[in-house]
Chain A
């Protein structure tokens, strides 16, 4: 019979805490930067210029149809040969931004296309400029429409960020790897780390739906 021994794992709580912090900071910054990038990309894609649309499409398809692990290896090991040398943390952040933006672009594009054309015409008729129409008439309700999809994409991003441990980026999974190699309590370490991820994803999911109820709690016409 196997004897579980959680003591050495729990004794390493400062490492776990540092790992949690890195995971949260990485995911939150990747989402903030990724959102800004994907709004620009979605605007480019829906702008009507075929060349812009083609470039954004190629980027989105390329990223969505290759594994995140390979993207990380490409950025961390491959880019230095082009003269771009990155620390594990900045490589992890760049990879997460690149990955998240591709998915978020498609989500925001769907949101933008869900805006009725009459809204845009009404905005134009009121004398708003193209940028004003995009920001106030298209983007704002579009973001509201895609809020649920975007929040689950964020939780997915946080779970995916565990893969950056493959280049020892100091995140929660990497902290687990370090504790594992120090204590040899492999199974116990990963049980604890997995439970922490479960708690984080459940907490975010609860927080996001609370925000949705508080912020978007007004009637909407379809």
Chain B
């Protein structure tokens, strides 16, 4: 029997939004921590650290997110961790975000004039103190706009978790579509919900970018 597309179905899809948001939040926090570590290693003076992190970034920026999800999903069962879409999606998206955020933040760290590092070194500040109090606070200011921009990409990326069977927004749309056969309505609603999340973020990223451009204009 074909189910009608009513308020219950709409509610089911709207409620699935929380899993999209939860997955995005986890991937952003995980990717943020990993990304900072990778960005610091990528800009360090230790050659092998730079090589490894460059390889990590190349690997994740040069392959499709969908394949990264599959590899983590099937790789976890090989490591004896069992197959769980939640963990696999969170892990894969965190790694993906770490690589992209690391590359964005590397650029921000390298944009700080070398005179700052030299002055801090001349004052006798060790690497940790120098990063914590001199370089990173200045780099953060430049990093905010592109980071918010990447967040949009990450929220959209969580939709691919639907393919490995994690029930977030897109998957809930598929489920309702299979029951109601109203693909036009269902996927318009799903797209609309993503738009409601992503558009304000894009708007914010553009505004932050403009404000920074004005602040640094000479």
Contacts and interface: CB of A to CB of B under 8 A. Distances in A.
Interface string A72-103: 01100111111000000000000000000000
Contacts of A78: 183-184, 186-188
A219 interface: no
Interface string B64-102: 111110110011001000000000000000000000000
Contact of A163 (B66, B152, B194, B198): B66
Nearest to B177: A77
Given A74-B183, A77-B183, A187-B75, A66 B66 contact: no
A74 to B, nearest CB: 4
B22 interface: no
Contacts of B187: 70, 73-74, 77-78
A162 B66 contact: yes
Contacts of A71: 191
B66 A65 contact: no
B62 interface: yes
B50 interface: no
Interface residues of B, number: 38
B53 interface: no
Contacts of B63: 159, 194, 197-198, 201
B71 A69 contact: no
B170 A67 contact: yes
A61 to B, nearest CB: 6
A68 interface: yes
Interface in A8-57: none
- Chain A CB count within 10 A is highest, among B62, B156, B198, for B62
Given A65-B202, A66-B198, A81 B183 contact: yes
Interface of A: 2, 61-62, 64-71, 73-74, 77-82, 155, 159-160, 162-163, 165-166, 173, 176, 186-187, 190-191, 193-194, 197-198, 201-202, 205
12 contacts: A66-B194, A67-B170, A70-B159, A74-B187, A77-B177, A79-B184, A173-B66, A187-B75, A190-B70, A197-B63, A197-B64, A198-B62
